[in-house]
Structure 1
Amino acid sequence: MNKHIRIGRRVLAGIMALVLVSQVGIFDTVKAEENEAADVASALNYYQGSSYLEYLSGYEDASFGKDVKEIAAADYSESQGDVEKTEGQIIYTGEDSEVTWEFNVQSAGLYNLMVEYMSAEGNQNGIERNILVDGQILYKEMQYVSFTRTWKDVEEIKEDINGNDIRPAQEEVQEWRKVYVYDSARYSNAPLAFYLEAGTHTVTIQGVREPMYLASVTVRAEDGIRPYSEVKAEYAQKGYSAAAGEPVKIQAENLYRKSDYTLYQTADRSSAITEPQHPSQVKLNQISGNQYKLAGQWITWEVEVPEDGLYNIALRYKQDLLSGMFTSRTLLIDGEIPFQEARNLSFGYSGSWQVDALGNDEERYEFYLTAGEVHTITLEVTLGELADVIAKVDSSLTQMNQIYREILLITGAEADIYRDYNFDDMIGDTIENMKVQADILKEVSVYLEEEVGAKGEQVVALDKLNCQLEKMHEDPTQIASNFSQYKDNIASLADWIANVSEQPLSIDYIEVIPSGGELPKAEAGFFGAVSFEVQSFINSFFTDYSTLGQTVLAEESENQTTVEVWITSGRDQSNIIRQLINSSFTPQTGINVDLKLVNAGTLLPSVLSSQGPDLALGSVMGDPINYAMRNAVVDLSQFSDYEEVAERFHESAMVSYTFDGAVYALPETQTFPMLFYRKDILEELGLTVPNTWDEFFEVVSILQRNNMEVGFPQGMPGMQIFLYQNGGSLYNEDLTKATFNEDATLDAFQSMLDLFTTYKFPRDYSFQNRFRTGQMPLAIQDYTEYNGLSAFAPEIKGLWSMAPIPGTVEEDGEINRASACSGTCAIMLRGTECPDEAWEFLKWWTSADVQASFAQEMKSVLGKAAMHATANMEAIASLPWTKEEYTALYEQWQYVTGTPEVPGNYYVTRNIGFASVSGYTTGNADELLHWTEETNDEIARKREEFGLDQ
């Protein structure tokens, strides 16, 4: 029996003894000493402190300070880490940098911070920094402050050979920006403020993610922005009048600058008069609210007006994604907010396109623009009037998660509804806090109903949780019976915050109209709409939707080679690959590509009938060897530069695609498990991240003592962790038999079973939901779960991280963290008539630059949850990981172990699953022995079928 399992069982015995202790005793024992907790928090890089709202509540009567202190970046008083003076007063700061400036103020009061910065070459991710005043992070919003990059389209929109628009490539523009510091979630419409007494102070900017250049930092109160009434009065005083001339229309897709490469052009077919439009061809004619919705994003357009004078600004827009709510934008003209009302412009919900001039219920806003110069119009996503509301609910959610965990300590995950837990005596303060949080939710619900004018679906989550909290407060005996539903309602509230924090707005065009001019119509007339729909319907019978359009080379000749490539992953992925082919592969190589989107089950029958493509992308790990046994794929190792190409990948990635000395695929993706952990909960319990299995089981004992859970992969993936860390393998040396009856495999299987039987680890669960509530603060999961947590659990940003999985200590003291991997691949079919050209495509597709570009585009199209798990080790380094995250990933990657694919291997996976199901009941590893003969018989039968033993 493995050493760590024996130790783990002794720990379990201790847990069982502690169960006899009173619940109050258990509750008290988990509280760590304050100084120890502070040390743990520091080790976990976890900030423990108040929110911005709580901080400001202590300065309700404070006024803004009068001083303005602008400091050249190079005039810092102290620096640490990756900091370098470049030219003049500019400094370069990396991810591990820390720069401090000293200054003096004579006027006490609230101040803001302005930073003049420019992005530096990095991984093209958002820039994040921590802000410290007098050596402290004053509130949690000063952690992970974001600074946007600046992007532009490289060229105008082009068409493919079918007349469909092709989205232009994008590039980053390194331009200086001077901005106030806001919280990254934009829960405050104004810049972050901090109180300074008269005297000497310091401000520190600490690197977190991505490098940046700094030119200056300025401590000052934000300039007062006048209300529109004063601006309008000034216009009248100066004698400004409505401009003459025709309106100027700016197509939204023809943008000048933007904050994010996710803000790309898309096609709208919902309206006949969206500009431009075509009944059969794809026209990129809008900026879509599916991308243009995250607080802090901005887009800038350029405009020249024919005459000096007053203008209205009108938008043709659609907000059909946030039902029953309005979304908001901040308007900037030539980089400045023109008046107070322009900070929060609202756009109401409607299922169809609308045209409105910017204004209020009484009047359109007027803007004075001069002829002869280029003006910029910027619309920045803001939470508007919802900012304070969302901030309140977010703060309340933190409290409700704490309430959940305090109940969890007493009842466990499955509360006994027939047991009297004596909640009044044990958590009296928590019960009172329920009432406080219920009142906050009720207040917010009433406010939203008044603003929207009806009780819509957006307040359902608030009302349900409010009702439940009031019920549990009034009658604590109902806490146990409501506990499970309470957890679900908290998750729903977190989703509500994420949904409402998104401010979608689609824009067709912006029109600058002489003041008082007529607005364009929002929709086509009846006959125009019907005509467009009829034409679209007729053309649908003649359009091949499986073939994605390609460009035509100027030098194309009749005998030019075309490589046919099939992809099964999805239309969004296909469109991105098509764009990369058109902009990169075909111009560089002179090889055309016919890219087709097909169903996953189409490839095998097509190959068997000799109707298959030259290449197939997105094949699952078992396909290459399965096809190779049928002589259907090409051995890629025959190409002269194969060894050079193979160096792009970790050696483990090639194992599953290699058989009998031949290599039948190149890896596209490779995934493996990581250890996810909640920093805040480990800190509360005085725990650190486990490095070995001994440490892991010690942490498990504390978490389970506090009725929390630990996640672990069940079945074959879980077994392989123990198997590979102890030097075992799934097959014998010549790959003719599975090792089900060998001691190493049985020990590994027993180790995995013990976690689910003796330690009662959950088998079926939603990792994201349990992790975000704190019910499962520690789990070994595929590292792609990082994407989902980043996208769907923003409320715990900064409270969690991932680390290499625990390992087995070897005789030399090294820690073996071995684990299995999974992934997808690209294969070349045997029937190809252009193997050299197909090989060129494979080399291009799996190269670092292309994989990195594809990953960035995937994220831009599908959001944070779609980070591409590329197998190219150079490409993954350029993806938007922090230095800490990439270091952890790279360390674990070095231990990843590939699993060979053999004929009949499906029996191995299937039968380990069957043995696991039985083993979860009996707890006996001998269940695996029952499947040994059947599994090895199937492997032998397949080897005979394919003539491998001759």
Structure 2
Amino acid sequence: MTQYKKIFIALVLVVTVLCVTFAQPVHFLNSPIVSASKNGSSAPELAKIEMGSTKKDGYDRYIAQYSNVSRPASELLIQGGAFAKAEGMDARAVSDFPGASGKAAETGETGTITWELDIPVDGLYNIAIRYYQMEGKHSSIDRKLLIDGKLPFAEANSFTFNRVWKNKGETIRDEKGNDSYTPQIEDPMWQEAFLQSSDGSHVDPYSFYFSKGKHSISLVSDKEPMMIDYIKLGQVDKVLNYQEVAAQYKEQGYKAAASGVFIKVQGEAASRKSNSSLYPVMDRSSAATEPYDISKIRMNTIGSTNWSKAGQWLAWDIDVPEDGLYKIGVKFNQNFARGITSYRKLTIDGKVPFEEMETVAFEFSNGWDLKELGDGEEPYQFYLTKGKHELRMEVSLGEMSDYVRTIESSILDLNTLYRRIVMVTGTVPDTNRDYQLELKLPEMVGTMTKQATVIETISSLLAQATGGNSDRTATLDRLAIQLREMANNPGTVPSLMESFKTNISSLGTWIYQTNNMPLSIDYIAVASPEVEMPSASATLWQSVEHQVGTFFLSFFTDYNQLGSSAKTDKKITVWITLGMDQAKILKRMVEESFTPETGIAVDFQVVSEGILLQAMLAGRGPDVAFSVPNDRPVNYALRSGVEDISKYPGFEEVKKEFHESALVPYAFNGGYYALPMEQSFPVLFYRKDILDELKLKVPETWDDVYAILPELQKQNLLFGFPESSATSFSMLAMLLYQDDGEIYNDGGKTIALNSEKSIKSFIQWTDLYTSYQLPLTIDFTNRFRSGEMPIGIADYTVFQTISVTAPELRGLWEFAQVPGKKLPDGTVRHDAPGAGTATVMLKGSEHKSDAWDFMKWWASTDAQARFGLENEAILGTAGRLAMGNLDAMAQLPWQINDYKTLMEQWKWVKGIPEVPGGYFAARHIDNAFKSVAVSHEDPREAIVKFTRFINDEIKKKRNEFGLPN
């Protein structure tokens, strides 16, 4: 392309940018016509439905029992140090802890601590706990509450107590003048928190019923230690509405603050926060964002998608010059979730100023907006005394909490109905057969009609709240229409089963999306009532300059490369395939600890894994690469692409950070060619509710599995096993290892699948599909969620997927060790294969010593744990990593019971070696499996035949690389 053509294209793009800048957006969904049709008198009357959860052991049912019970005004205070007993916990009373009101209780992260109390009056009480965060794993504190030794309701199974964090100094800038990161540090302090929903499903604190007399309260530690000052039983203070508060202002003679007062606090200058992930972030969408630089990165906002989970909060210190009434404005951006309003609870000095601040709505907008807190006509006035005040905003689900709980109940009811239908029709119904479902399942039509009404009502309420229909209401409407169709024509149900399951699953996604309340804050303004708030938008000239300038600068900036801020001559390059968010975490970590300790700077670049081999062969690769799949390092080593790290100083010490099985895939010919990054392995997932309904026990051995398979199949339900594929043969490896067999012979020179143990394991594996007719392919997560596959073996990382996509199953499922082989002495072997990713040093690196120092640091417990915690803080449970480092795994926010199960299974994990030609092993084991399961070939003949093919390829590859046979 000639220089003139480039200039011409640039001018065309500039004109386009100007057109976009001058154009006025059309807000169709918020137009008067649509709003009138949704909220006007012509709208249909909404159906009367039961809002909230219908779970038998849920809080909604619990509190409904006590609707006529009084709320005593008396308050009962129990000193933390006055506990009656502690079981499984090294609890102790501490009489001189700074800031405590009396003798406090130091509690550990495991075990149970119990207090005894004497209730003077029957009634409903709120419970508050004053606590102090102790040194731990830097994650939130989790506790379970028991009253008289029992859970009062299901939601009491998990309460979260947030830590307090703050910015550690100023934002760090890199060598190019760009803001790099703002260090975060814990800021321990005493906090009083009422026991309330950890996921925001209930906005108000929970109420607990106590009869008059003696009772006990127990806290079961699930995660992190904490100090407890006291437990208080009483009532939440009643919050007056704004009209009542304004009347009090008038009665007490409060006046407006002196004219001309305008205080602006930048959002990124938050004084305290509930999570380390709530650090300042960059926004370049507008020239009006403060501070702004057209060419440099500035961490000029806070929040975004990091600030979206119920209970997360940010606090700012506001220093006002005199007593008086002020108004408050918030410059915000909520363009993350179309069709959803983000809600925040606002407190000043720990108290909600008036009822309207319990739920402050920040509506969806295409860009930055400035919201004066008010009723839409006049701004509210807040009385503030002279001096410093803490203004805190906490994520709340607001009115959405009722909708979410109602839809969760709908999902459970519909999944139960789907499972009942499957028990009649099977998972693959014959669409030409009349199953007479309305006769065999008399509740079917009624359930469909009821749930259609519920879902339609929630859709209408949501449309009213957001100003019109959106993709969120479309999800609900689609299922409601289908339910009406099936209820009116029961004969169509078998043919619609697959789409029915898909639509139910989409409701889980709806809940996940609705639970997210993202919001960005540029600044908070406190001003005299007569002061006009500034515009949130840039001027016309600022917008033109911003659009044109950022366009031209995009030609000169590599946004995938993160340069180092350190001024040092020693520098290495690291490629990462995880993503930009993860690269930014690593960059912060390196510049906070690795570079200051070693003097080695690191440049990170985000790439796709597929280009690594090409770069190695071209001699243009990095010094270190992350997230390399298990089967790559040895194959790269055979081609002189990666370095043998076993010869470097400290390697033997680094090995101790990992389970011995994690290094097996990276070992070859006496060398090691990678360090583990992640390691995962299978566990047994099961639905507690369905197994209890069927009166089945969780199987511990394969004999137990064979015993429950017929019972499941009688109900047309399935047991899930890992799929056979060209990249995994985990089921065969599991059975073989449990029988004390091996995959390869003689250091990988031949495969051992023609041994008697291997043939026996192969027959056992294929028999599940030939004799028990199990499906060859499965969608485990969705089938587990729907209940048609209430138990199954899957990689433990499926935990994250189920937790996020199936919130309605909370408390209804668990996982255990995989079924094993029972030995003569009564013990059970639970061997299972491991999988994972690795970190490699490239052979062509010119800075190998520095690269090794980096790899050692990266493999350390501190680095791995911090990376895992920060990644999860950004992405939530879905971002929990399968850490390879044993001690780092212990610092991730696992519930203690889940962590213990994982540790027990990890003891039995074995690595699968990688050998030249090993790719043929997975491919032909899959071929052997399918020749038996699909073509009905004799299993012994099939595995022996394909073993020959595998050994031929191994021999060929060993010859190619000059290795002895």
Q: Tell me the amino acid that sits aligned with residue 140 of structure 1.
A: A
- Distance, in Å, in 2 between the alignment partners of 1:329 and 1:431 is 40
Q: What's the TM-score once normalised by structure 1's chain length?
A: 0.91
Please give the alpha-carbon distance, in whole angstroms, between the structure 2 residues aligned to 1:261 and 1:794.
Answer: 24
Q: In structure 2, the residue corresponding to 1:863 is in which secondary structure?
A: helix
Q: Are 2:586 and 1:577 aligned?
A: yes
Match of 1:414 in 2: 428
1:804 correspondence with 2:813? no
The equivalences for 1:526-925 within 5 A come to 526-553=540-567, 556=568, 560-715=569-724, 716-923=729-936, 924-925=938-939
Residue pair 1:183, 1:191 contacting (<8 A) in 2 also: yes
Aligned to 2:29: none
For the pair 1:293 / 2:308, whether they are aligned, the reply is yes
Deviation at 1:95, TM superposition (A): 4.1
Q: Is the contact between residue 112 and residue 221 of structure 2 (CA under 8 Å) also seen in structure 1?
A: yes
- Name the counterpart of 2:92: 85
Letter in 1 for 2:885: N
Residue 514 of structure 1 pairs with residue 528 of structure 2: yes
Deviation at 1:106? 4.0
Alignment of 1:255-404 (within 5 A): 255-371=270-386, 373-404=387-418
For 1:840, the aligned partner's letter is D
- 1:176 and 2:185 are equivalent in the alignment: no
1:414-457, CA deviations, whole angstroms, 9 ceiling, x for partnerless residues? Answer: 23333333434433245433333333223222322333332333
Q: Who is 1:20 aligned against?
A: none
The answer for unaligned runs of 5 or more in structure 1 is 1-46
Who is 1:938 aligned against?
953
Tell me which amino acid in the other structure corresponds to 2:723: Q
Q: What is residue 460 of structure 1 aligned with on the other side?
A: 474
How far has the Cα of 1:653 moved from its partner? 1.3
Check conservation: 1:279, 1:533, Cα contact below 8 A.
Answer: no
User: Retained in 1: the 8 A contact 2:659–2:886?
Assistant: yes
Q: Which is further off, 854-863 or 374-383?
A: 854-863
Mean Cα displacement is larger for which, 743-752 or 245-254?
Answer: 743-752
Q: How many angstroms apart in 2 are the aligned matches of 1:436 and 1:676?
A: 31
Aligned equivalents of 1:82, 1:905: Cα separation in 2: 49
SS at match of 1:604: helix
Give, as a single letter, the amino acid of the residue that structure 2 aligns with 1:836.
Answer: S
Q: State which drifts further: 935-944 or 293-302.
A: 935-944
The 8 Å contact of residues 210 and 882 in structure 1, kept in 2 or not, is answered as no
Tell me the SS of whatever aligns to 2:269: coil
Whole-Å separation in 2 of the counterparts to 1:156 and 1:684: 57
Distance in 2, Cα, partners of 1:331 & 1:700: 54
- 1:60 lines up with 2:67 in the alignment: yes
Distance in structure 1 (CA, Å) of the matches to 2:583 and 2:175: 17
* Structure-2 change in CA distance of 1:298 and 1:641 (3 Å): same
Q: C-alpha distance in 1, partners of 2:540/2:762?
A: 68
**Deviations for 1:664-694, whole angstroms, at most 9, x for unmatched residues?**
1111111111111112222222222211111
Counterpart selection for 1:150 from 160, 164, 170: 164
The 1:234/1:430 distance shift into structure 2, 3 A limit, reads: same
Quote the offset at 1:70 in angstroms.
1.2
Shift of 1:333: 0.2
The Cα of 1:475 is off from its aligned counterpart by 4.3
- Indicate conservation of the 8 Å contact 2:166/2:185, yes or no: yes
Contact 1:312 1:516 (C-alpha < 8 Å) held by counterparts: no
Residue identity in the other structure for 1:119: Q
Q: Is the 8 A contact 2:154 2:811 kept in 1?
A: no
Q: 1:468 Cα deviation (Å)?
A: 3.1
- How far 1:179 sits from its partner (Å)? 1.4
Count of residues paired in the alignment: 898
CA distance in 1, matches of 2:106, 2:784: 37
Hey, what's the Cα distance between the residues in 2 that align with 1:595 and 1:241?
Answer: 56
Measured in 2, the distance between the counterparts of 1:619 and 1:455 equals 44
Partners in 2 of 1:612 and 1:422 — Cα distance? 65
Query: Which has the larger displacement, 567-576 or 446-455?
Result: 446-455
CA contact (8 A) 1:678 1:778 kept: yes
CA contact (8 A) 1:668 1:824 kept: yes
Distance 1:377 1:479, change over 3 A: same
CA shift digits 1:879-912 (9 cap, x unpaired): 1112211211111111111122111111112222
User: Pairwise mapping of residues 75-224 of structure 1 onto structure 2 (< 5 A)?
Assistant: 75-88=82-95, 89-224=103-238
Contact 2:452–2:480 under 8 Å retained in 1: yes
What amino acid is aligned across from residue 171 of structure 1 in structure 2? I
Give the stretch that moved more between structures: 780-789 or 96-105. Answer: 96-105
Flag the 1:601–1:103 CA change in 2: closer, same or farther, 3 A: closer
SS of 2:747's partner is coil
* Displacement after TM superposition at 1:406 (Å): 2.2
C-alpha spacing 1:742/1:458, structure 2 compared with 1 (3 Å):
same
CA distance in 2, matches of 1:292, 1:286: 12
C-alpha distance in 2, partners of 1:190/1:62?
Answer: 17
Structure 1 residue 855, shift from structure 2 partner: 0.6
1:330 Cα deviation from its structure 2 partner: 0.5
Q: Deviations over 1:626-678 (max 9, x none)?
A: 22222333222212322111111111111111111111111111111111111
Q: Secondary structure at the match of 1:626?
A: helix
> In structure 2, what is the Cα distance between the partners aligned to 1:823 and 1:398?
34
**One-letter identity of the residue aligned with 1:867:** R
The alignment partner of 2:783 has SS state of helix
TM-superposed CA distance for 1:328, in Å, is 1.0
Letter of the aligned partner of 2:72 in structure 1?
A: G
Q: Do the aligned partners of 1:280 and 1:543 also contact (CA within 8 Å) in 2?
A: no
Map Cα deviations across residues 532-552 of structure 1 (whole Å, 9 max, x no partner). Answer: 111111112222334312122
Q: Distance in 1 between matches of 2:149 and 2:740?
A: 49
Offset from partner CA, 1:81-106 (integer Å, 9 cap, x none): 31512312211233443333333444
Which moves more between the two structures, 63-72 or 914-923?
A: 914-923
What's 1:38 paired with? none
Structure 2 CA distance, aligned partners of 1:197 and 1:605? Answer: 72
Structure 2 CA distance, aligned partners of 1:388 and 1:646?
51
Are the aligned partners of 1:124 and 1:880 in contact in 2 as well (CA < 8 Å)? no
**Do the aligned residues in 2 keep the contact of 1:314 with 1:512 (CA within 8 Å)?**
yes
Determine helix, strand or coil for the equivalent of 1:407. helix
In structure 1, give the amino acid aligned to 2:895: T
Which secondary structure state, in structure 2, belongs to the residue aligned with residue 833 of structure 1?
A: coil
Q: Check the 8 A contact 1:714/1:752 in 2, yes or no.
A: no
CA RMSD of the aligned region, Å?
2.2
Q: Of the candidates 431, 453, 457, which is equivalent to residue 443 of structure 1?
A: 457
Task: Give CA deviations for 1:915-941 in whole Å, capped at 9, x if unaligned.
Answer: 233332134323333333332222112
1:378-430 residue CA offsets vs partner (Å, 9 max, x unmatched): 00111112222222222232222222222222222223333333434433245
Amino acid at match of 1:350: S
Q: Distance in 2 between matches of 1:610 and 1:497?
A: 49
Identity of aligned residues (%): 38
Q: TM-score, with normalisation over the residues of structure 2?
A: 0.89
Paired letter, 2:329: A
Q: Which runs of 5+ in 2 are unaligned?
A: 1-53, 96-102
Superposed displacement of residue 718, structure 1: 1.7
Instruction: For residue 86 of structure 1, give the secondary structure of its aligned residue in structure 2.
Output: strand
